[in-house]
Amino acid sequence: MHVPVPEVVEPAASLRHVHLVGIGGAGLSAIARLLHQQGVCVSGSDQADSALTRALCDEGITVHIGHRAENLGDADTVVVSTAVREDNPEVVAAQAAGVRLWPRSAGLQSILIGRRVIAVAGTHGKTTTTAMIVSGLRAAGLDPTFAIGAEVASLGTNARLGGDDLAVIEADESDGAFLVYTPDFGVVTNVDADHLDYWGSAQAYAEAFVRFVDGCAAGAAVGLDDEGARALVGRRRVVTTGFAEDADLRGTDLSADAAGTRFRVRCAGEADLPVELAVTGRHYAQDALLALAACRYVGADLDGFVRGLGEHRGAKRRMEYLGEAAGVQVYDSYAHHPTEIAADVAAARAIAGKRRLVVAFQPHLVSRTRIFGAEMGRELSAADEVVVADIYLAREDPDPRVSAQLVLDAVDGPAALAGGPVEGLDALLACIVRAGDLLVTLGAGDITAVGPRVLERLRADA
Catalytic residue numbers? Answer: 126-127, 170
Contact in structure between 213 and 222 (CB atoms under 8 Å):
yes
Residue 142: burial class (beta carbons within 10 Å; 0-12, 13-18, 19+): buried
Distance CA 284, CA 297 (A): 20
Taking residue 398's Cβ as centre, other Cβ atoms within 10 Å add up to: 11
Distance CA 368, CA 182 (A): 29
Instruction: Report strand pairing: 260-266 vs 249-257.
Output: antiparallel
R_g (Cα) of the chain, nearest Å: 22
Interacting residues of 171 by C-beta distance below 8 A, sequence separation 6+: 119, 120, 121, 126, 177, 178, 181, 183, 186, 212
d(CA 30, CA 56): 10
Kindly state the helix (H) or strand (E) to which residue 346 belongs, with its residue range: helix 338-352
Cβ neighbors of 108 (< 8 A, separation 6 or more) are 27, 30, 31, 34, 147, 169, 177, 181
Distance from C-alpha of 255 to C-alpha of 314, rounded to nearest angstrom: 18
Nearest to 402 by CA among 374, 425, 428, 444: 374
Hey, which residues does 325 pair with through a beta bridge?
A: 328
Write out the H or E segment, with its range, that includes residue 222.
strand 220-223
Give the 3-state secondary structure of residue 71.
helix
H/E stretch holding 456 reads: helix 450-461
The DSSP code for 18 is E
Assign 3-class secondary structure to 131-198.
HHHHHHHHHCCCCCEEEEEEEECCCCEEEECCCCCEEEEECCCCCCHHHCCCCCEEEECCCCCCCHHH
Amino acid at 100: R
Q: What is the spatial distance between Cα 432 and Cα 357, in angstroms, rounded to a whole number?
A: 11
**How far apart, in Å, are the Cα atoms of 79 and each of 44, 90, 145?**
9, 11, 20
